[in-house]
Structures are given as C-alpha cells and as structure tokens.
A and B are shown apart, each in its own frame.
Chain A
Amino acid sequence: MIRALGSILVLLALMRPATAQTPPAGFRIGIAGLAESACSASPSDAAAAAYRKHLEGRLGKPVLLCGYGDSKAVAAALQEGQLDLAILDQPSFEPLAKIARPILAPRADAQTGRVLAVALSLKSSGRDTPVKLAGSRPIFISKMAASYQVPLQGLADYGADTKSFKPALFVADEQAGLKALRAGQGDALIITAGARQRLCRGDDPKIILCGDVVEAWRGRPTAQTGLVVRNNLPEVDRYQLVGIHIALHQERPEAMAFLASKLAGGVALDPTEATAMQKGIR
C-alpha cells in the first residue's frame, strides 16, 4: 500500500507541467535588456556568450543568462529565488535590501572607484554631520574625480545639501587644506580617507595633529548599479564570484564590456560592502 502510494506520488511529480515559476537548473544570472527573454545557455549576443562561457568554466557548473524587460523585473525574480545573481540598478535594489546585497560595482576608470572620503570641519564650528554642512564652503585638494566629484557625490548621498555649497576653494594638498580650514577660508575639507591619514596620522604617536577637527562625514558614494546576490548565498560562493569578476577586464575583456553595457559603464568591477546600494548607509 505504501509502495503504491509512493509510486503515485512519483508519477504525479513527473506529470506536473513546468511552470514559469520553476527555476531552470544551473547558476542563473538575471539581466535586463538581453535579446532572449528566457534563461538561456546560448545567448545570441557574442559578448554575452563569452561572459556566460567564462563563468561556467570558472564555477564548474551550468550557467544560464536570463533576460528580463527591466531592472525591476530582474529584482522581482531575485526576490522569488529564481536567480542566483542579478544585475540591478539602485532603485530596483532598494526594496530587496533585507534579503539581498551587492557584491560588485563598476569602477569608472583606472583612478576612480567608489572612493572612501571624509569631510573634516572644525570642532568649534558645530558642523559635525552631513546635514549640518549645508551652506558650507568646501575645500578640495584636487579637481580629479577621486578627490572631487566622487566625494561630493558621496556627501550628497548621505544627505548633505551640496547644492547649497558656496563656490569651492581648491588648494594644493591636504596640508594647505587644513591650513585654509583653520584660517576660516572654508568650512569643510573634503578629501580621500588616504589623504586624511596622511594629514592626521602623523609620524610620532605622541603628537595629535588633527585634534581640533571632526569628521562630519565618512563614506563612499552609493553604487548606482551592481551585481547582487541573495543574502543566503554561502559566503565561499560569494567570494568566488568576487574573485572571478574583479579580474574579468583582464581575463575576458569582451565579457567585461558586456557587463559594462548592462551596468551603465565601467572599466572593471570592484568589490562592495553590503550596504553599497543603500543611500546614506555605511
């Protein structure tokens, strides 16, 4: 009797028609704007095919590229567990923040990633949060993106009203910047974390160099696009994906070019923190 019941259950399972909700076998990557609307192991786009093949070889299991109409549809599929990896834009990611995380984001150019930067103000000024920097005159040490546009964007992402900023003061280096800050020529010295370390760490443990300033902000700009996985992906698999993708521009440039076309640009991929696509959260 039990054996017969078991056979019936097996038969029923075999007869159950495949539905749109049944995820196909393999490692599934959701991408908006693919030529194919279903999951495929043979995308028509040559660069997409190169990426799929590269990843399949490295992961040692079948890889499918799954096309969707837009980023929101990709996000929905990831939420439903239909995908293992998704290329998302920031607005589509936001609703998934509790169940998913970005692992990689595009790097604009060789010198410019999502730079970790700080805004320093005088303790006596009371400007100790991004919001309180409204109306400030910022001081920058370079017009290069890594020292200017990227930190400025980061500040805005953390709630600073950068549009209210007075015209910026540009100085030669961080030492000159601190001097200008102390002289009242500006209200916030905005520099990379590396420059802050050069400025404030000093060479003698007994000397405190930046005792009169406070970090009103420290952070990276929000990633506008990224490669996203569910939080329940095993850690070792997540790092394997990171390790494969950060070298993609060197090992398979055409595959990187394909991803860049779906990520709104980028010359390479950098790892990200879990909160990289959440505005104002470090």
Chain B
Amino acid sequence: MKAGNIVGVKQVRISTWLKSLCFVLCLTGLSACGSDQPDAELTGWQKEVGQLRIGATSGEDSPTTLARWTAYQKYLNRITSLKVEVFQAADYNGVIQAMASGQLELAQMGGAAYANAREQMGEKVAPFLALRSAEGSSGYYSALIVKADSPYRTIEDLRGKSLGYVDFNSTSGYLFPRWAMRQQGKDPDTFFGKTAMSGGHTQSVLALANGQFDAIFLIASGGTPETGFTTGSLYTLARKGAVKISDYRIIWTAGPMPNSPYVIRTDRPQAFQDVTRGAMAALAYEDPQLWVDIGLQEGSDMQPMTAADYQAVVDMRRAEIAERRAAPAQKSSPRSAKP
C-alpha cells in the first residue's frame, strides 16, 4: 500500500513545488521591484533588517490564519517601525522554501513543517513562540473525523476505507497521527484502502463533506478529548456557517503535540528577534479583545519555545522518511484517491 500512498504524496509534491516556486518568485519579484527596500531613515538593527516579511500558510487553521497575520502586521509595524508584509502561500512547503531562501523573517508553521525547515536550514531557523491555553497546556490534537451519518464509530471501522491526509508537512494532518497509529500497532500505509493529500485543513473538511473520503485527519484544539474541542478548522468553519459540527464525529484522537511554532530566521539581528518576540507575546495581555478577534482562544497566551521542544517531531519526521525510503516495495499499493 506504500506505493499508492507515495503516488498521493508525489502528486502533492509536484503541485507543492510549483506553488512554492510561484511563491518564491512572487517574493523575488517584489524585491526586484524595490517595493520592500529598507526605509532610509532606519538605524541600528532596524536598518539591518530593513523589513519584516511574514509567511502565512493555509496551514493548521486556515480560515483564521490570514486575519491573524493582518492584525499582527499593523501591530508589529507600529512597534518596530519596519515595513511589515504578509505573504500567504497555498501550502506549508511554500513558506518553508521562502524562508530557506531568506525571503521571510518570520512564519507560523506546524511542528512537522518546522522539522522539514530545520532539516533544510539547520540552526538558521528556530521556533521562538507558541500558543499556550488558559489552563497552561501548550498542545493540540489530531482528530480522526468522519461524517455523523456514516457507520464508522472506531478507527477499526475504517480498515480498508479511504482517508484524507492534509499535507506531507502537516503535523496533525499527517505526521503525528501516522506515528500514533504505529504506536498502536496499525501501519497507516496498509490499514487504509485509499489515501491522498487534500492540500489543506479546509480542503480536507470540504472533501469529507463531498464524500471524497470516508475519514480525514484534522487539527483539533482549544480543549482535550475529555473536554471537547473549540478551535481548529472544523470549528472555525462551523462558526462561519460553512458546515455544521453536528454533521461530523470525532472517532479517534492523537496527541497532544506541541503547538505550532512561530519560527524566525536566527541570522537576523538578535534585537529584532527579541523585540518581535516580546511584542507578539505581550499582545494577549495588552489587547485581549484583539487577541480573540484574530481567532485565538480567550485567556490563552504565548510562551517561548526552543528547538528542543520540537525534537520529538523532528525525530518522527526522520523516522517517517527513513521508513519510506527503506522498504517502499514491501507493502502493497493502495489506490490513490484524489481529493
């Protein structure tokens, strides 16, 4: 079943590569036009950095991501006096490649995407902040979601059925649940009959709604399996009226995994990194209404993170890649399902 899964990944990889290329070219084009040249009046570290370019993905909770960064854009511009621009990529790899090529200073990405970036950039990228809940927890979950009117009640019911992953670089939509399944003695490459990448969390929900998958792995946050969840793509879409929560059912969860990090280029001046971290972390306390308006959980805040906090995710990704490279032919091939 491995080969089929790789087909799904390859399809996404090609698509991702093209999107990434467009994204990087777009950034390069902006540079060439001189629209993001440093302000001549800046001095010190501000002159050295010149601008703050933020990469936003359709990532872990796409409907709120851009709104969040637009709010930060104005806020960070006021504090740093830097020109702040937000670039949105269609997928994780777009942001990773732009960051690796020095086209971005800052981005938010899932742990798995960070692990990918870390492998490419080494210590030039570092996690520096992540969300923390009001109760002090700093993790989120991967939820296996099915339609409420389906017969599936447990993960066992999905043996041989079709599954939608989010993205190869998604923590909750790919890496972590696969790791967790293996811990439970289930090989995700042979357990499901069909797998494919949807390209994003929102796309996964829509594909499930349209009957393209029997189940999807999706981010779930703002709670625990015991308390229930309040945030994540499904809940955000529900609040916008796009879907009804009652139409879906969570039948299995994996986690918690460390919250998606905000990552920064470490080759930028230290003062820039400190100011940015301080400003972003202070927002929860200084403007709690804006905090909620940009889609973040009431009472939550940000905590500093280090590379060590994501080492387990980096190790999972390495193991995932090693396994794929080691024995691709030993497993039978599933049919690939297009999202």
Contacts and interface: CB of A to CB of B under 8 A. Distances in A.
> Do most interface residues of chain A lie in helix, strand or loop, or is the interface mixed?
mixed
A197 B297 contact: yes
A27 B278 CA distance: 18
B298 A197 contact: yes
Interface stretch (B5-13, B117-125, B283-291): B283-291
A7 interface: no
Contacts of B284: 271
B298 A240 contact: no
Interface in A158-204: 173-174, 192-198, 201-204
A156 to B, nearest CB: 19
A240 B276 CA distance: 8
A243 B273 contact: yes
A147 B271 CA distance: 36
A196 B245 contact: no
Interface in B257-310: 270-271, 273-279, 281-282, 284-286, 288, 292, 297-301, 303-304, 306
B148 interface: no
B80 A194 contact: no
B108 interface: no
B15 interface: no
Interface string A234-254: 011011111110110010000
Most buried by A among B135, B239, B273: B135
Contacts of B276: 243
A192 B282 contact: no
A236 B274 contact: no
Contacts, number: 134
Interface stretch (B50-58, B167-175, B223-231): B223-231
Interface residues of A, number: 47
Given A197-B297, A198-B222, A203-B235, A144 B135 contact: yes
Contact of B274 (A203, A240, A274): A240
B299 A194 contact: yes
A119 B80 CA distance: 37
Given A58-B270, A198-B230, A273-B285, A247 B239 contact: no
B299 A243 contact: no
A115 B292 CA distance: 15
Interface stretch (A78-86, A106-114, A121-129): A106-114
Given A113-B301, A201-B239, A236-B275, 19 more contacts: A58-B271, A111-B137, A115-B134, A115-B135, A115-B136, A116-B288, A147-B135, A173-B226, A192-B299, A194-B298, A198-B223, A203-B244, A204-B241, A239-B279, A242-B279, A243-B279, A246-B304, A247-B128, A271-B285
